[in-house]
Chain A
Amino acid sequence: MKLVWIGLAVSLAVGALLSLAASPHPDGLERVAEDKGFLETAVGTPLLRSPLPDYVFPGIADERLATGLAGFLGTLVLFALGWGLGWLLRRAARPRGA
Chain B
Amino acid sequence: MHIPDGFLSAPVWAAAGAVSAAAVALSGARLGKTLEEKQVPLMGVTAAFIFAAQMVNFPIAAGTSGHLGGGVLAALLLGPWAGTLVMTAVLVVQALLFQDGGITALGANVLNMGLLPCLLGFVVYRLLRRLLAGTRGALISAFATAWLLVVLGAALAALQLALSGTVPLRLVLPAMAGIHALIGIGEGLITAAALAFLLRVRRDLVHPQCRPFVRGPAEQAA
Interface residues, chain A, with chain B CB atoms under 8 Å away: 1, 3-4, 7-8, 10-12, 14-16, 18-19, 21-29, 31-33, 35-38, 41-43, 45-55, 70-71, 74-87, 89-90, 92-93
| Complex contact A75–B51 (CB within 8 A) | yes
Count residues on chain B whose CB falls below 8 Å from chain A CBs.
Answer: 70
Q: Give the residue name and chain of the A residue nearest to B33 (CB).
A: A93
CB-defined contacts of A11 to chain B, threshold 8 Å: 45, 48-49, 51-53
A52-B98, A82-B89 are known contacts. Are A41 and B43 too (CB-CB below 8 A)?
no
B62 to chain A: closest residue by CB: A31
29 contacts between A and B (CB under 8 A): A4-B42, A4-B44, A7-B45, A14-B56, A16-B52, A22-B58, A22-B67, A23-B57, A23-B58, A23-B65, A24-B57, A25-B64, A25-B65, A28-B66, A31-B63, A31-B64, A32-B179, A35-B175, A50-B98, A52-B97, A53-B99, A71-B52, A74-B52, A77-B97, A81-B93, A82-B47, A82-B48, A82-B86, A90-B35
Tell yes or no: B221 within 8 A of A by CB.
no
CB–CB B40/A8 < 8 A = no
Q: Using Cβ atoms and an 8 Å threshold, which residues of chain B touch A76? A: 48
Indicate if the CB atoms of B43 and A83 lie closer than 8 Å: yes
Q: Are A14 and B53 in contact (CB under 8 A)?
A: yes
Using known A-B contacts A7-B49, A79-B44, determine if residue A51 contacts B175 with beta carbons closer than 8 Å.
Answer: no
Contacts between the two chains (Cβ within 8 Å), count: 218
* Inter-chain contacts of B43 with A (CB < 8 A): 82-83, 85-86
Instruction: Give the distance to chain B from A8, nearest Cβ to Cβ, in Å.
Output: 6
| Residues of B close to A15: CB separation below 8 A | 48, 51-52, 55
Cβ contact within 8 Å between A90 and B7: no
Interface residue SS majority, chain B: helix
A4 and B45 contacting across the interface, CB-CB below 8 Å? yes
| B49 and A32 contact, CB distance less than 8 A | no
Q: Does any Cβ of A come within 8 Å of B26's Cβ?
A: no
B82 smallest CB distance to A (angstroms)? 7
Known: A23-B65, A45-B4, A82-B46. 7 other contacts (CB 8 A): A10-B49, A35-B175, A38-B161, A52-B97, A74-B97, A78-B51, A82-B47
B157 within 8 A of A: yes
Q: What 5 pairs between A and B have smallest CB-CB spacing?
A: A93-B32, A82-B47, A83-B44, A15-B52, A86-B40
Q: Are A42 and B52 in contact (CB under 8 A)?
A: no
Task: Report Cα–Cα, A89/B97, bound state, in Å.
Answer: 24
Whether A89 contacts B32 by the Cβ 8 Å rule is: yes
